[in-house]
Amino acid sequence: MRRKRHTPQAAMTDIAFILLLFFLIISITTTLLPISLKEATATETTATEQKGPVIVIGKGGDIYQDNIQITRGQLPSTAEEVSVVADRDTPFSAIAPVIKKLQQNGTKHLHCIVEEEK
């Protein structure tokens, strides 16, 4: 008579390996901003799929794209859709010239990324 071999369902090392992979993938997909921001809040939000570049505007009017500081002259000129993230304390006088330059460059859709108000 043959006996069935009893094998454990999952070893502890398998579980640890899966958890390690999970945290690695999550950390890779998390977007980091080049500067610390206090994001603006909104009472209503509509999620849209991000298609174009993300422009980050700091308090002092510093402009970043892909974690590299750029000037207004270096803003994307071929993107139809652009997402903008700005610090809550950034004056509109620093944001308006960026929007105007994007509009001149042919941007048709501008997404303002804000944090949902809690």
Q: Rounded mean pLDDT of 77-84? A: 85
pTM for this one? 0.58
**Cβ contact 83:9 at 8 Å:** no
HSE toward the beta carbon, residue 36, CA cutoff 13 A: 0
Contacts of 61 (CB under 8 A, 6+ apart): 90, 94
Task: Please give the sequence-ordered ranges of beta strands (E in DSSP) within the chain, or none if there are none.
Answer: 41-42, 54-57, 63-65, 68-70, 81-86, 109-112, 115-116
Average pLDDT over residues 77-99: 86
pLDDT band at residue 110, thresholds of 50, 70 and 90? confident
Length of the chain: 118
**Statement: residue 90 has pLDDT above 80:** yes
The pLDDT, as a whole number, for residue 13 is 82
For 31-65, how does the pLDDT look when each residue is reduced to its tens digit (9 = 90+)? Answer: 666 667 666 666 665 655 667 888 999 888 899 98
